[in-house]
Amino acid sequence: MTNPPTRRPTSEAEVAERIEAYRRRRPRLTDETVTLAHGAGGKASAALVDAVFIEAFGAPGPELTDGALLTVEGGRLAFSTDSYVVQPIVFPGGSIGELAVNGTVNDLAVSGAIPKWLSVAFVIEEGLPVATLREIATAMRAAADAAGVVIVTGDTKVVPQGAADQVFITSAGIGVVPDGRDLGAHRVAAGDRILVSGAIGDHGMAVMMARGDLALEADIVSDSAPVNGWVEALYAAGVDVAWMRDATRGGVGTVVNELAQASGLGVLLEEETIPVHPATRGACDMLGIDPLYVANEGCFIAVVPNDAAVTALAALHAAGATEAALIGRITEDFPGAVAIHNAFGGDRLVDMLVGDPLPRIC
């Protein structure tokens, strides 16, 4: 694949112009009531966040990311929070407890931080077996140990039967951002390469199969895992990462659309290079769902300079991300949009997720 020379923004004015264009491209809220689609991570979610929360709280920065970067005396911190309402609460490859740890750890990691501390809060439905709650807590401790973080504080609330679905968990985390790390759409340039850290779509389809209300059986296991070790492998290899995001709700398709909108550049994906396990692809085909829109919980997308792409891929493979792949590039050909090139030589546009094909998967 031949890429044009990399050209990054050269002035504050150019960066500001990109930011303003990004905000104009964001979806607009037209709904009068909240629907499940507003929690799916796609167009409806973006519109709700902009029209309600950004309007009330103010914009946290030039673009919406997985964590806030805070400057404190002596350095920078990343701060992130997320809620988990998955159903069922235990599924092949993980549980709601592991998601609550891995999800926040990953949000911090793709913000360029080294995750350090977590808080966890539980909303428990009356009637939940104590043994189940203990299993969840044990799984969370194991996940925290694997990620190298410590759960330092939390809260517990119990609600009457019917007021929740077994248990909901909210986790927040703090990480330390080493000097010299600068991530954001303002650093993305035409010619950069896009890589994914592993196969996509496993988590969402594993949860759907575990619900048992589909006439399908498939050996699919969630990819729930911490990615901070893989992120650090990129930095240890000297890769100047421009942008990162973990592809959770809305999947890879929505994440790269957010990248295109925020950068004002185009994203061209190569369909044949995107790793999807056969069982996951088969289940998606039977349900009429594009794997690009299925959630992941142990997978991230990164944008790296073209001349560092091979080094980045080798670093991930050496760190254990053996299915990591280069899946596309940044282009100036169709600003603010995403296209995918297929094996037959054709291209099609990839929009943000519309609707909610897989509710309550994280």
Q: Encode pLDDT of 8-53 as tens digits.
A: 555 556 655 655 565 666 667 777 787 777 666 666 777 777 777 6
How is residue 346 written in tokens? 């054709």
pLDDT-based confidence at residue 275 (cuts at 50, 70, 90) = very high
Q: Which has the closest alpha carbon to 306: 186, 190, 198?
A: 190
Superfamily for the 60-177 domain:
PurM-like, N-terminal domain (3.30.1330.10)
Q: Where are the alpha helices (DSSP H) in 170-225?
A: 202-210
Average pLDDT estimate for 198-219: 88
Dihedral sign computed on CA atoms, order 52, 53, 55, 59: negative
pLDDT at 159: 94
pLDDT in tens, 148-175: 999 999 999 999 999 999 999 999 999 9
Distance CA 191, CA 258 (A): 18
Q: Name 203's Cβ contacts closer than 8 Å, sequence gap at least 6.
A: 93, 94, 222, 223, 224, 294, 295, 296, 297, 298, 361, 362
pLDDT at 9: 54
Q: What is the homologous superfamily of the domain 185-349 according to CATH?
A: PurM-like C-terminal domain (3.90.650.10)
- Cα-Cα-Cα-Cα torsion 208, 210, 211, 217, nearest 10 degrees, comes to 80
Q: What is the DSSP letter of 360?
A: S
| pLDDT at residue 216 in the model | 74
- Does the pLDDT of residue 84 top 60, yes or no? yes
Global pTM reads: 0.85
Residues 300 and 65: beta-carbon distance below 8 Å: no
CA-to-CA distance for 20 and 11, rounded, in angstroms? 15
Residue 4 pLDDT exceeds 60? no
Least confident of 42-46, 229-233, 272-276, 315-319: 42-46
Domain boundaries, the chain: 60-177, 185-349
Tell me: pLDDT of 207 over 50: yes
Helix, strand, or coil (residue 133): helix
CA neighbor of 6 nearest in space, from 258, 263, 304: 304
Contact partners, residue 11, CB within 8 Å, separation at least 6: none
2: confidence class by pLDDT, cuts 50, 70, 90: very low
